[in-house]
Structure 1
Amino acid sequence: MTGTAERIRTSRRGPFLVVAAALFVLLLDGNLPTPLYSVYRERFGFSGTELTLIFAVYMAVLVPSLIVFGQLSDQIGRKRVLLGGLGLGAVGLILLAAAQNTAWLFAGRIAAGIALGATAGTAAAALVELEPEDDRGKAALATVLAQSGGSAAGPLVAGVVAGWAPAPRQLPYGVGLVLTVVTAIAVSRLPREPVGGRWRPQRPSVPPEIRADFARASLSAATVWATGGLFLSVVPSYTAQLLHTHNLALLGTVAAMMLAAACAVQAVSVRAQLSPRRAQPAGLLSLVVGLAALVSAFPAKSLALVVVAAVFAGAGLGLTYFGSQAEINHLAPSGRRGELTAAFLTCVYLGVAATAISTGLLSDAYSLPTAIAVVSAVAGGTALLALGWQLKRR
């Protein structure tokens, strides 16, 4: 029995790592444009609202893709959906690399959004099924590390390559394309899993007995990722105004720093065996501190406060998202894991889209610092509300 168990763990380890890598690469691809938005804005001459709409259209197509493909992967298999997502992700990178005007950016972001929507819930469900020791906590850690790590690596890679290498509007996407193709080849070699049933598009639903826990975890995760979206969409431009700089490597690093802090905290929380119920309130409190530092940075003209904001907000995202994803993994019935994970991620990305769009509209009507202050205040208030709900159940 021990030998059989060891063989099962060994047979799962490779596929587990490949699926985690696929999720990481697609998040990296989706966030490569982050430090380049200011370059596009100067070259193509679009407004702050258009900037956030380019970011938000990614979410606008991602959400319905989650709804459609989360349930689809339960029926036709995770491998097929992952390959389709990686293929479409490659198309998005090619469109962005070839961009001649704003319409190309919208097309590239639409392709990237559908690609991630197809794979995010699918990969999260596959990681639960493939975790070598059937440990849903470790599967949650792999999911959030892949998402946070890929989101951090995207702006960092693009900022460094665009800042110090030739062809700044093409080469970052070339790097992403190579990684995507290599990952797709690895996914294509995964064993084909048994599937069954006919697929019909349907609205994801949450079983009545877990709806309260699902809503609490989803609200917490949506709040912290709304702040993550702020760092990935407009905080680089905010930092550029604050420091009067166009250094793409620096602007990419600011966005990456927040998500790197999230990854570090997630790894530490697993080593410390922090439970999801403790991780989420601690993360929400840290997020509030980070938002306060972000708002204070502009009047103080302080890069140090931006760094403090990134670290505390990143820690908040890491703790809260790890806790909420682990809770969803435990709540999800095995036959509906892809569907329930897709519903959870739909809530998360709706929060990101709402933040990005409202920030763009406010920045055009008033100023970017004012928009950041208003949106941060709303996000902070929502975080405190979620914190109270988390503490109430203890």
Structure 2
Amino acid sequence: MITDRADGKRALGYPAAAGVFAVGMAGTTLPTPLYGLYREQLGFSELMVTVVFAVYALGVITVLLLAGNVSDETGRRPVLLCALGLSAASALCFLFEGGLPLLLVGRVLSGFAAGLFSGAATAAVLELAKPGQEAHAGFAATAANMGGLGCGPLLSGLLAQYTPWPLALPFLVHLVLVAMAAAVTWFLPETVAHPHRPRTLRPQGLRVPPEVRGVFGPSAVAAFAGFALLGLFTAVAPAFVSQTLDEHNLAVTGLVVFTVFLASTAGQLLTGRIGVRRALPVGCLVLVVGLLLVATSLAVTALPVLVVGAVCGGIGQGLAFRAGLTAVGGAAPPEHRGGTISAFFLVAYLGISLPVVGVGALTLELGLRGAGLTFSACVIVLAVAVGLYVWRRPLTDAD
């Protein structure tokens, strides 16, 4: 189903596709440092912040269930262009925000965009690699995902803190970046050999090809645990930084969130050096250490410890995430690769949404600190369990 890409149309290769991927994912986390401003302006609770965040994840999951494999049939480029259009629509919702309903619509549209990007952009980056570039392309795909997610809060935090129009300028800048990404996407080679319009749009669920099932389970559970940590930082950490640590600089908030995603990218880079077999269990172990540090920062109210926990947890998440994605993507047959990768991301985004809403609900009874400690304990148990499993039954580098 995938072309051999030997038609000389590879002037724009996998780095260009990775750049488009990064721009798209940056838009999904752009509002993160701004939630405090929205909370003051609209007067909603911390629970509602996590609900607004989780609505995004609900949009991702919906698309992955309904259309996670659509790029395997229609082609990568049309799906990427559609995702960029949804990203632009989301930015416009935030630009013209007049209350909570439009915020929710903007987050849902952003989730739809991320759901399309997750499978189609990852597959496009992998398939645009020339022979011998597969490892570099695998890193580019996961780094674009995590790097884009990290750059969103950093960009909006800096713009909101040091320029006029804190609730408008970040989204105006993103619209410009989306337009540039759309122009690049238009000239990307199509990697699906015979793209066609699917007859029906049906839920794909979590079905994966038989040859992938051996690696899918532990890889997806590790991704769930790692994305739960990312969800904590993108939805709850900004409130902890401002309310508990009394740090109200939005650029600092964005930098703290950026740190965990930057560390994730570093962890992904390390995965290529130590191999899939060791990266998954080691990543789970490092993730546990990071969660322990995050819990410590909550207990002693220390920003430096939170930053160190973000670095350590991000590295662990990156190690486990790239190892799992590499194993799943490598085991999937080309004609089902987009759908299989989408199923992997579906489990990951369950991790970034369900636990975070739980944290928001717990804040009503336990407060922000108590909810964070409870969350950390639960994810530590999960990460330890999957880490021990893959340590005893390791994946192979060839998976």
Name the TM-score, length of structure 2 as normaliser.
0.93
Which structure carries more helix by proportion?
1
Residue 355 of structure 1 corresponds to which residue in structure 2?
A: 355
CA distance in 1, matches of 2:163, 2:91: 18
Partner of 2:81: 83
Aligned counterpart, 2:100: 102
Partner of 1:259: 261
Q: Is the 8 A contact 1:362 1:371 kept in 2?
A: yes
Structure-2 residue corresponding to 1:215: 217
| Candidates 184, 207, 228, aligned match of 1:186 | 184
Change (3 A) 1:277 1:10: farther
1:40-98 Cα offsets, whole Å, 9 max, x none, are 11110111211101000001111121233322111111100000110110010011122
1:198-237 equivalence runs, <5 A = 199=198, 200-202=200-202, 203-204=204-205, 205-237=207-239
Letter in 1 for 2:305: L
State the partner residue of 2:397: none
1:9 & 1:390 partners in 2: Cα distance?
41
How far, CA to CA, are the matches of 1:218 and 1:165 in structure 2?
41
Aligned twin of 1:297: 297
Aligned to 1:286: 286
- Note the aligned Cα RMSD (angstroms): 1.8
- The answer on whether the counterparts of 1:9 and 1:133 sit within 8 Å (CA) in structure 2 is no
What residue in structure 2 maps to residue 346 of structure 1? 346
Aligned with 2:274: secondary structure?
coil
Aligned positions, number: 387
Report the more deviating stretch, 159-168 or 236-245: 236-245
Residue by residue over 1:241-277, the C-alpha shift from the partner in whole angstroms, topping out at 9 and shown as x without a partner, is 232121101111111011111112322443xx22112
Contact 1:27 1:150 survives alignment (8 Å): yes
Q: CA deviation at 1:209?
A: 3.9
Q: Is residue 380 from structure 1 mapped to residue 380 from structure 2 by the alignment? A: yes
Q: Is the 8 A contact 1:88 1:111 kept in 2?
A: yes
In the TM superposition, structure 1's runs of 4+ consecutive aligned residues that sit over 6 Å from their partners are: none
Retained in 2: the 8 A contact 1:74–1:335?
A: yes
1:130 corresponding residue in structure 2: 128
Check conservation: 1:12, 1:131, Cα contact below 8 A.
no
How far residue 389 of structure 1 moved from its aligned partner, in angstroms, is 1.0
Structure 2 vs 1, CA of residues 252 and 10 (structure 1 numbering), >3 Å: closer, same or farther? farther
SS in structure 1 of the partner of residue 335 of structure 2: helix
Measured in 2, the distance between the counterparts of 1:16 and 1:135 equals 9
Would the aligned equivalents of 1:82 and 1:123 in 2 still touch at CA under 8 Å? yes
Aligned to 1:331: 331
2:330 & 2:361 partners in 1: Cα distance? 39
Secondary structure of the residue aligned to 2:167 is coil
Query: 1:140, 1:329 within 8 Å by CA — same for their partners in 2?
Result: no
Amino acid corresponding to residue 236 of structure 1 in structure 2: P
Question: Cα deviations across residues 17-43 of structure 1 (Å, max 9, x unaligned)?
Answer: 221111101110000001011111111
* CA distance in 2: counterparts of 1:108 and 1:64, whole angstroms: 15
TM-score scaled by length of structure 1: 0.94
Q: Distance between the aligned counterparts of 2:386 and 2:298, measured in 1? A: 27
Q: Counterpart of 1:214 in 2: which secondary structure? A: helix
Shift of 1:299: 2.9
Q: 2:365 maps to what in 1?
A: 365
1:261-280 paired onto structure 2 within 5 Å = 261-270=263-272, 273-280=273-280
Structure-2 residue corresponding to 1:309 = 309
| Aligned counterpart in structure 2 of residue 117 of structure 1, from 115, 118, 123 | 115
- What amino acid is aligned across from residue 364 of structure 1 in structure 2? L
- Separation in 1 of the partners of 2:374 and 2:122? 33
Within 5 Å, give how 1:29-108 maps onto structure 2. 29-108=27-106
Question: Counterparts of 2:263 and 2:196 in 1: how far apart (Å)?
Answer: 42
